[in-house]
Structure 1
Amino acid sequence: MTEARPIRKLTKALRITLAINIVASAGCALGYGLHAAVASRYDPGAYVGSFDLLEGAQVADLLLMCSGLALLPVGLVAGFLALKWSYRSNANAHVFSRGLENTPQWAIWWWFIPFAALFKPFAVISEVWRAALQPDRWKPLKDPVRLRWWWAAHLLTSALAIAGSAMERSAATASQVVITDIVSAAGMLAQVISTLLYLSVIGRIEPLQTALIAQGRRRPEATNTPSWAP
């Protein structure tokens, strides 16, 4: 059995990075909204591509460019830290409790496997949360409602991002550009909500694990003695 490692500093670093990500995502959402407002002034059937420079959309284009450039490196750093956080918190959960179905390695790999990525990362964090709440009796606990809302927002963000990207490639009229911008803006807003909920999730798990580490919590050995026995 390995020693549990604190995740407080890692959580703090992740919070800072995600805060920057929220600002950049909100900037993109605003940029798409402004771009949609400009495109709506054109004749709906006018030939206008998503990548065309529209007259009066300079502010929107500048906002989208700056926010997009910020999102790329910040997103990469945030993604790395989130995977590291998932790995370490899951490893800690294995120190605190028995019977977890997901290993620390799979806490990372599930994110990259098609179809499984739709539900397995949620299962990983759910196990970590429940094991932190009640290490000896975590299995019967229901998934926290906050966790469900986060995952729903995450899936919505992914769906809107895919839809917006596909629509952007095929948009050829002003009306299609407006719809594309609205979908893309909605995707960015969904990402903001998803990130805020994720911050709430890790903010709940971190102090629970910190307290268990301070108590010197270790999972009971696999014997015939019930885990609740003195």
Structure 2
Amino acid sequence: MLCTRCRIRTAVTDDGLCTFCSGTRPPPPDGATPLVAVSGPVPGGWGAGTRGAGTWPGAPVGLSRAVIVLLACVIASDLFVIGAGLHLRGLWEALAAGEYLDTYTGPGLRAHERYDLARRVRTAAFLPTGILFILWFHRTRRNAEVFASGVQRMGPGWAVGGWFVPVANLWFPYRVAGGIWEASVLPHPDGGRRTAPRTVLNLWWGGWVVSVLVSRIAVGQWNRGWEPEEIADAAALVAAADALDLVAAVLAIVFVRAVTRMQVERAAYRPAPAARPVPGAHR
């Protein structure tokens, strides 16, 4: 029977796992060299000696830094949108309370113009951020194929395409990210697999899904608003959705940093040099 996790090696444990997936790999035979973690930078850089052959797609460090900078821009634009939206909500609440508000001139017009500008700024920040994040996501997925292809549940193409499938985009990228996370964990010194808590992964994905769903509800309520009270309530919900988007961006930064660090450490894991026979040892 094949291992229930990697579907490659023979299962040897009661729960259907192989020696690699269960972390019970036996010690290497005489003359074999287990993997060891190399401290410091790997000579020659990421994937030294293998990148030219196409084995390593490249380090995600540069992309991760660019993504983090752009996510910081998204956070700043979220703050701009939240401030402009709450100011606009205050004006509509005043109108609901019986005060006069002309949305075509004066403070009402300026509030709407400021809010529209804030939303355009956020869109301008979000689009390049999304593109670079998906590029970083795809690169880490390709690296995961090298680290541990047996734990990948979805192909590398889903690291891009999974984001654009309606409804399924609330689940497919998470499955891809789960494979990336498992493959990026440092193995045991004897080469066996180990697991790491998924707290960062789950918080990032949960924040993203909640932000998307609340945003869709808020936009629908805003578009249906007609009376001043309805518009004021919708503006409050939109501001809450914008705040959740900010939290999701913060969690995305944490996730990007965590995965990038894990993959850099995992790429520095190299086989120990073979032991040379000692002259006269068998005399």
TM-score with structure 1 length normalisation?
Answer: 0.83
Displacement after TM superposition at 1:158 (Å): 1.0
Distance 2:61 2:155 in 1: 21
Distance 1:130 1:54 in 2: 57
1:7-63 deviation line (CA, Å, top 9, x unaligned): 1100001111111111001111111111111111123699x9xxx558634564344
Match of 1:150 in 2: 204
Pairing of 1:171-190 with structure 2 (within 5 A): 171-190=225-244
Distance 2:166 2:98 in 1: 38
Displacement after TM superposition at 1:196 (Å): 0.3
Displacement after TM superposition at 1:206 (Å): 0.5
The AA in structure 1 aligned to 2:125 is V
1:116-140 deviation line (CA, Å, top 9, x unaligned): 11111112112212211145526xx
Q: Contact conserved, 2:59 with 2:264, CA < 8 A, in 1?
A: yes
Pairing of 1:92-171 with structure 2 (within 5 A): 92-99=143-150, 100-134=152-186, 136-137=192-193, 141=195, 144-171=198-225
Taking only the aligned residue pairs, the percentage that are identical comes to 19
Unpaired stretches in structure 1, ≥5 consecutive residues: 218-230
As a proportion of its length, which structure holds more helix?
1
1:90-122 deviation line (CA, Å, top 9, x unaligned): 000011113111222111111111221111111
RMSD: 2.6
Q: Contact conserved, 1:32 with 1:64, CA < 8 A, in 2?
A: yes
Q: Pick closer, same or farther for the CA change 1:143–1:122 going to 2, 3 Å.
A: farther
- Choose which of 61, 68, 91 in structure 2 pairs with 1:8: 61
Match of 1:36 in 2: 89
Q: Contact conserved, 2:215 with 2:238, CA < 8 A, in 1?
A: yes
Give the paired residue count. 213
Q: Does 1:66 align with 2:122?
A: no
Structure 1 stretch displaced more, 89-98 or 128-137 = 128-137
Match of 1:194 in 2: 248
Displacement after TM superposition at 1:199 (Å): 0.5
Distance 1:169 1:211 in 2: 48
Q: Pick closer, same or farther for the CA change 1:96–1:179 going to 2, 3 Å.
A: same
Displacement after TM superposition at 1:198 (Å): 0.7
Query: Secondary structure, in 3 states, of the residue corresponding to 1:137?
Result: coil
Q: Does 1:205 align with 2:259?
A: yes
Displacement after TM superposition at 1:4 (Å): 4.2
1:169-205 deviation line (CA, Å, top 9, x unaligned): 2111111011110111011100000010011011011
Match of 2:34 in 1: none
Q: Contact conserved, 2:185 with 2:196, CA < 8 A, in 1?
A: no
Displacement after TM superposition at 1:168 (Å): 1.9
Query: Secondary structure, in 3 states, of the residue corresponding to 1:98?
Result: helix
Q: Does 1:85 align with 2:136?
A: yes
TM-score with structure 2 length normalisation?
Answer: 0.68
The AA in structure 2 aligned to 1:151 is W
Q: Contact conserved, 1:39 with 1:54, CA < 8 A, in 2?
A: no
Distance 2:108 2:179 in 1: 47
Higher relative contact order (CA 8 A, sep 6+): 1
Q: Contact conserved, 1:38 with 1:54, CA < 8 A, in 2?
A: no
The AA in structure 2 aligned to 1:162 is R
Displacement after TM superposition at 1:153 (Å): 1.4
Distance 1:127 1:160 in 2: 27
